[in-house]
Structure 1
């Protein structure tokens, strides 16, 4: 189906649910209140631990993305996955500042606050982001997961055939031998099919269970209403479908085209770096506008004082309406996480590296453990320079955003795509298939060609064959 038609269809369905959500907001709140109170009547320790696990499951997929970027061929998809997650988080915070709806424990005295989130509650960030992360994880990070068992069965089948063959220099074929082999092939084909179906079912069940349990856990913990959770799911579905069916393929092909060594990248650098900062300024401008709108127009002193009092009671703090950690101030700060994408773009453009998928795993297997450790160290050490920013504290939300959140977010992206590949090249730890692979300076002069990259890879090939 045409991508434009799909975009219109998904957007229309999203708008339709938004209208329904607005119309039935009070009814959903009442149902959610009754549901939460019934769940919180008795709180066994094990049950609470289960809900807290699913509430924190959103931290697992980023770890998987980090693993794929370091130890797998799927490096570009790992970065695209990170970018989609960052986009979802940023979108969620903007929406919270638009809805400016309190969390249940801030309003309903009967609902216990088992978590003490202090920003707005609608839509649920955990529900939205967990859906995006969990569905995109097999799609982007592990697209070949369904083939793992199949490959294993094929290897075992081939090994069995090899053991049964004659090694006298020739093979005697007979009807009986052919029938046995055909029978073995049929049996193993059936095993393949059953294993693939079983793995797919287990994966689908795990993803669906995790998504549902994450939403329910947020209601149980008193930090979200049913309407907030469902709206988070709807936005998560929208972002996921739009990315998978509309954005991913053309975006990936465009990036691969930019990273083709045949192209001169000076024009792209001059274009992308200003554009990335311009988009970041638009994002921050929108967020700042919502911040001021909330503090000047939507700010109800009596209601806000009650909400802040519940937050302070839950967290044992003394926040005021101007504290950067709460409500619209917190939402404003978290939109700056979008600067991660700017850091990724700027780093990639300045590094001017190339990317050839499918080469990395071949070379990674030949590296000694010490080389792996050094490479990981070169990625992690630059992040030490960001640690001082973590300790910056200010009562001004704007100062804290400019001096803390922006440097941390931009720096995190820039280190991955800019500093890390440069250090790998500098310390001679780069291997073909890295993202980004930096050619020697002599290959960057004049018109670049595909042969220059392959010549560089051949040099690395000779070097590693000699040293390993």
Structure 2
């Protein structure tokens, strides 16, 4: 509790500093970005683009870990935390409703054309979440010796240096490309640091323990009360998000101001053929609102666990995975890829209303994504007879053998 109080005080202290010195940081950033863009060395733009675009590759680590590592529950929670970071960032952007530098400063050129609000930086939040939660959740021995594993000191130093350097360069790349001020970057790092600290110190272990216990043989699974609480959180989050959406549309952001910002997008961005308005679902408060609704995957995740009626034998997977043939291992990968690809058509639909996009695209994708991982994938592995002990939500029957040679039914009775 002491750490929670200290972290919360530090967060609010920096929020106050950010508000007080907002204009000074904005002016300093304008000078910095103009200097960087006007004094580029050969290949600098391409280098920063690599750091910026790498953000879209890092989530694949969660998928790879889910497919090949024992800690499948940890891999899924890591992926859910990345989505929570994205949803939180979009929620906060509508709270701050601050423009991006290239929206306002005529001389700043955008090397990447993001069209939503800029504060706090989504790249800053997501990159720091991905980099620092990766060792915390999937490779905890990087930070602290584990009972069954210990990394050499030089491995720890190299790993920590890489994730720190990558996080910094990802944030700095956004300043160079004119899409964020360094004030927006730092605020993103501060918010994500707070979320990550609170989650790892007070929430993660409890979730892991609770879900692991719920997924043992003979357990009744996740309680309805837990599902109701998470559903209430998702519903309340959506209601507050709607309030900020409407406030930005009709109170905080005027159509004239939005027109000036979207004119900058239209004139500066390559391949931009549409002059957006304040009501366009792909810009400003509208896209921020839609993205904030990825929070619904949390609800579909726990509902899917309840519906699957599977079990999770932690630390069993690696041993039994070796018994599969190369074809079976490859098939497991392709099945997951195909299932995830089924969500792509939702992103190909064009919506004319922000509410249609939010509830016709983001919410369905979130709900279906959670159910695919928890229900559909495990059932397909079961029916194709390529599931093994240690799979997340492995479906069993009375005839299957337990890892120690007993039937699952006998093992449950003996326990």
Please identify, of 409-418 and 314-323, the stretch whose mean Cα deviation from structure 2 is larger: 314-323
Partners of 2:296 and 2:367 within 8 A in 1: yes
Q: CA deviation at 1:56?
A: 1.9
Aligned to 2:165: 209
What is the rounded CA distance, in whole Å, between the counterparts of 2:10 and 2:249 in structure 1?
Answer: 32
TM-score by length of 2: 0.91
| 1:91-131 alpha-carbon deviations (Å, 9 max, x no partner) | 11111001000000000001111110000000001011111
Q: Shift of the alpha carbon at 1:220?
A: 0.2
Q: Which runs of 5+ in 2 are unaligned?
A: none
Structure 2 counterpart SS, 1:43: coil
Cα RMSD between the aligned structures?
Answer: 2.5
Match of 2:297 in 1: 340
Quick one: structure 1 residues 453 and 239, their matched pair in 2 at CA, closer, same or farther if it must change by over 3 Å?
farther
Matches within 5 A, 1:124-139: 124-139=121-136
1:309 matched residue in structure 2 = 263
Q: Aligned-pair distance for 1:458? A: 9.7
Q: Secondary structure at the match of 1:324?
A: coil
CA distance in 2, matches of 1:394, 1:378: 30
Map of 1:281 onto structure 2: 235
Could you tell me which residue of structure 2 aligns to residue 106 of structure 1? 103
Matched, 1:13 2:10: yes
CA contact (8 A) 2:65 2:75 kept: yes
Answer whether contact 2:255 2:277 (CA < 8 A) is retained: no
Instruction: Tell me whether 1:30 sits opposite 2:27 in the alignment.
Output: yes
Question: Aligned to 1:226, which of 171, 182, 192?
Answer: 182
User: What's the offset of the Cα at 1:377?
Assistant: 2.7
Secondary structure, aligned partner of 2:114:
coil
* Structure 2 residue corresponding to 1:391, chosen from 324, 348, 351: 348
Q: Which structure: larger Rg?
A: 1
Aligned partners of 1:10, 1:239: CA distance in 2, in Å? 10
Q: Which has the higher contact order (CA 8 A, sep 6+)?
A: 1
1:69 — aligned with what? 66
The aligned runs of 1:424-443 (5 Å cut-off) are 424-440=381-397
Q: Write the mapping of 1:411-430 to structure 2, written as runs, cut at 5 A.
A: 411-430=368-387
Does residue 298 of the first structure (1) align with residue 248 of the second (2)?
Answer: no
Q: 2-side partners of 1:346 and 1:264: how far apart? A: 13
Q: Is structure 2 residue 274 aligned with structure 1 residue 320?
A: no
Alpha-carbon displacement from aligned partner over 1:148-202 (angstroms, at most 9, x marks no partner): 9xx99xxxxxxxxxxxxxxxxxxxxxxxxxxxxxxxxxxxxxxx9xx82221121
Matched, 1:237 2:193: yes
After superposition, where does 1:149-188 map in structure 2 within 5 Å?
none
Q: CA deviation at 1:23?
A: 0.5
Q: Deviations over 1:27-47 (max 9, x none)?
A: 111111111111011334511
For 2:118, the equivalent position in structure 1 comes to 121
In structure 2, the CA distance between the partners of 1:245 and 1:19, relative to structure 1 (3 Å rule), is same
Q: Cα distance 1:147–1:241, how it changes in 2: closer, same or farther (>3 A)?
A: closer
Change over 3 Å in CA distance of 1:387–1:86 after alignment to 2: closer
Q: Partner residue of 1:180?
A: none
TM-score, length-scaled by structure 1: 0.81
Q: Classify 1:263/1:77 alpha carbon distance in 2 versus 1 (closer, same or farther; 3 Å).
A: same
**What residue ranges of structure 1 are gaps of 5+ in the alignment?**
153-191, 444-449, 460-468
- Going from structure 1 to structure 2, the CA distance change for 1:415 and 1:59 (only over 3 Å counts) comes to same
